[in-house]
Amino acid sequence: MAFLKKISSDATDAELVQEYKSGGDLEILADLYQRYMDLLYGVCLKYLQTPEDAQDAVINIYQELILKLKKYEVEYFRAWVYQLAKNHCLMLLRSRKKMPVNVDIDLVQSAENMHPEEAWQKEANFQQLQLCLEQLGTEQKQAIELFYLQEKCYKDISELTGIESGKVRSYIQNGRRNLKNCMEKQALENVQ
């Protein structure tokens, strides 16, 4: 996939994104994009199944980036462009009627279904989870952290916090639901 000339830059992704947004220089975008072409080709090949379709998709994704990168606030370029590629492929498959229109958001966000080479996406999801965790109420946040991160049982959480055991269970369930809703909302915002 060497259709772009090689440009070498020591700038971070975030710096290149800001530089492109402010000046619109396509060479900067090419440098940024070229860092992830192999990754995107792999994603496209996984979904589209043929090398030709995957190569076409990679080129089309680059063309989408010219406009979309200026339009959206991108904090983690790698995760964002990965999601953009995945959505591009899914939309292409839908237009070909090769897959149903409904995609289960839990399947998309599930850590068990991640490609092993996508550890960076797991990190981005973890950072989103941290942001969502901060938005929870004090009791829910405390119960979630003790239960999932410190692996405490209801009884231990109740003893540590002074919260009734029945309420601990309720805070965990409600907190988990609120985290899921927050993560889904952030995933939709990142795609846009």
Q: Tell me: the pLDDT tens digits for 120-152?
A: 666 666 777 778 888 888 888 888 888 877 788
CB 39 within 8 A of CB 82: yes
CA-based angle 116:120:123, to the nearest 5? 110
Q: Tell me: the pLDDT tens digits for 8-49?
A: 568 898 889 999 988 888 898 898 899 999 999 999 999 899
> What's the pTM value of the predicted model, to 2 decimals?
0.47
CB 121 within 8 A of CB 114: yes
Q: What is the DSSP string of 80-126?
A: HHHHHHHHHHHHHHHHTT-S-S---HHHHH-GGGS-TT-HHHHHHHH
Q: Domains, the chain, ranges and CATH?
A: 13-103 (1.10.1740.10), 119-188 (1.10.10.10)
Cα–Cα distance for residue pair 17/69, rounded to 1 Å: 8
